[in-house]
Structure 1
């Protein structure tokens, strides 16, 4: 059996958007707009092998801006032990019903789904929101079907940023 290695080099655009407000305020608004994935309800659908349409309905009703939080990491509780005093919360934000539309073509898209987002601030500084452009990440797979979903995620991210009162980079709406 021949083993193959595929190497893909690509660039991505990282956006860091300053809100001018206290990071705790931005974090609270973000977590209201992007609620946690309803894990118990998702698990129940999986347990009973429900039709995918039930999953689509659940996630649509649960994600007001089409995104859910799959993980929340409070670095600002951990790193002060090392003397760091920046505020930082990292998230895995996504929507597995959207990810499935890429997964069917290449399961390794899960390298980038859910998306990584970070709300952070230097000590006594304004809140910042950082995220990589989804279409750059998903475009690296070289399949139009995946790239198109990445562009859709760009637009959904733009809608979320606008709702949060953050600047919306033109690259997300081109």
Structure 2
């Protein structure tokens, strides 16, 4: 059996007044990279409380970076000069609260974010609105966590001193 689930996702594109490096620096200071080797060691203990404490201690603003892709070395080979970077950010404890209801949520958790320069020279931060992705599972428990993630993303944008799209506030 196959299934096509049609759903609308809001891609939020936030204009910044800052340089690429300033936005990237603020983001990475607020969303630290997770040390996978260390996380695996903690998970190997089999102690769920310890895993939750580890995650909480390493996500001061709810999120950690699980993976970063800087495509610039390859793009520059083709003559591109505009800078861009993308991240997979999330929180394994929050993701688990949805995973228990439907492991398919892993398609959207961690969340993907991007910082990039535009042809006009401005810098943008972009993310798909979490609630618009997680609502597609048709489970109110998952949709509620997606709405909570909207609030956490809005909080992160405020900390980055970026505008908060109304979709994150009104759902």
Unmatched runs of 5 consecutive residues or more in structure 2:
none
**RMSD of aligned Cα (Å):** 1.2
Pairwise CA distance, 1:41: 2.2
Matched with 1:156 is 152
Matched with 1:25 is 22
Corresponding position: 1:132 with 2:132? no
Match of 1:101 among 93, 97, 100: 97
Q: Is the 8 A contact 1:135 1:151 kept in 2?
A: yes
Deviates more, 1:75-84 or 1:142-151: 75-84
Whole-angstrom distance in 2 between the partners of 1:165 and 1:108: 33
Whole-angstrom distance in 2 between the partners of 1:124 and 1:150: 33
Distance verdict in 2 for CA 1:23–1:32, change over 3 Å? same
Matched with 1:75 is 71
Whole-angstrom distance in 2 between the partners of 1:96 and 1:11: 25
1:54-78 deviation per Cα after TM superposition (whole angstroms, max 9, x unaligned): 1111111111110000110111222
Q: TM-score, normalised by structure 2?
A: 0.95
1:113-162 deviation per Cα after TM superposition (whole angstroms, max 9, x unaligned): 00010000036712210101000100000000100000000000000001
Matched with 1:122 is 118
After the TM superposition, list the runs of 4 or more consecutive aligned residues in structure 1 that deviate by more than 2 angstroms. none
Whole-angstrom distance in 2 between the partners of 1:60 and 1:47: 17
SS at match of 1:92: strand
Matched with 1:88 is 84
Q: TM-score, normalised by structure 1?
A: 0.94
Deviates more, 1:154-163 or 1:120-129: 120-129
Unmatched runs of 5 consecutive residues or more in structure 1:
none
Q: How many equivalent pairs are there? A: 170
